């Protein structure tokens, strides 16, 4: 197998092209299903690395934990 065949065997980008309406077919970035042009490697950093981070009480995990605690509390209060 030569180098070009190896490169062509890489996983392909699944984004839809605005211009052609078909699949992008560019090589996907490792760990992503899309190529560089279609958003791989993007997004803001999480937690303290994000410039707008305050105290962590609003992170997805904290919000989910709070929601679960509230549901459990309601459940046990109603089943008393």
Among 38, 53, 62, 74, indicate the residue that binds Zn ion (CB under 5 A).
Answer: 38
As separate numbers, helices (DSSP H) first and strands (DSSP E) second, the chain gives 2, 0
Supply the minimum distance, in Å, between the C-beta of residue 26 and Zn ion: 4
Tokens found for residue 17: 């092209």
Q: Which residues are CB-contacts of 35 (< 8 A; sequence separation ≥ 6)?
A: 13, 15, 24, 26, 27, 28, 29
The residue among 22 and 51 lying less far from Zn ion, judged by its C-beta, is 22
By the rule CB under 5 A, 40 interacts with Zn ion: no
The residue among 26 and 53 lying less far from Zn ion, judged by its C-beta, is 26
Tokens found for residue 64: 């989910």
Q: Which residues bind Zn ion (CB under 5 A)?
A: 13, 15, 24, 26, 35, 38
């Amino acid at each position: 197998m030569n180098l070009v065949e190896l490169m062509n065997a890489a996983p392909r980008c699944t984004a839809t092209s605005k211009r052609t309406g078909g699949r992008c077919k560019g090589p996907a970035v490792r760990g992503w299903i899309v190529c560089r042009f279609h958003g791989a490697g993007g997004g803001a950093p999480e937690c303290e690395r994000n410039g707008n981070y305050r105290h962590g009480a609003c992170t997805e995990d904290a919000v989910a934990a709070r929601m679960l605690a509230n549901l459990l509390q309601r459940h046990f209060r109603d089943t008393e």
